[in-house]
Amino acid sequence: MLIREEINRERIDNLIREAKRHGPFHALTHEERDETRREFLANAKLDDGLWVFGYGSLLWNPAFHYTDWQPARLYGFRRRFCLAASIGRGSPEKPGLMLALDHGGSCNGRAFHIAPEKIESETDILWMREMISGSYNAQHVRLRLQGKTVDGLTFVINRAHPRYISDMDLRETARLLASGEGHLGTCREYLNNTIAHLDEMNVRDRYLHELQQKLREFDEQEMS
């Protein structure tokens, strides 16, 4: 679990140093990261606060302060394990994969509302969490909530990033999820947690459930 108090510049510097000990690791400087945040905020409508769309670990561990959350649907993007992970839920010894929003389809998740007076502090936390390496782009999106549509923020995959995986079949994806593990835990836990919190919202993501079934098949093969 990410703890809000541990999301700070010192921790980020330590993570980057550790990752670079094992090979090349592209990372944004603090100045570069904050420049992308300032650019996003300068072009956002913030009078009524900011809605943030969560589709993965934000569903159960947002680690930022919010006033409300609602089920939300985002059109034009879909969940996909398309980001190679060597930190977080992966390591050089046990590389894994992380979810991202890739282009195409639609996605159900949660929209979290940040109050206007908290936008500065909470987006600082969000950017330190999501924008360490530049593997995501902060995106202005339209979110469909219960009975209304709002402007919001989400983080989508940066297809130009060296850790982006453009194509991987379900079996290979599941194989990496079965073994991937880092200081935040295992990829298997990440998948199961995402599914569990979507189930609470009566949302079924066929792609995630198919991966979960593949993991069960791997386990059965190992036991036989």
Residues marked as catalytic: 130
The SS3 of residue 154 is: strand
Q: Residues 17, 117: contact at Cβ < 8 Å?
A: no
Let me know: does 40 contact 127? Beta carbons within 8 Å: no
Measured between alpha carbons, how far is 62 from 3 in angstroms, rounded to an integer?
Answer: 9
How far is 69 from 61, CA to CA, in rounded Å? 13
What whole-number distance in Å separates Cα of residue 135 and Cα of residue 90?
15
3-state secondary structure of 156: strand
C-beta of residue 138 within 8 angstroms of C-beta of residue 131? yes
Calpha distance 39→34 (Å, rounded): 9
Nearest-10 Cα torsion for 167, 203, 58, 137: 40
**CB neighbours of 66 closer than 8 A, spacing ≥ 6?**
52, 112, 113, 114, 122
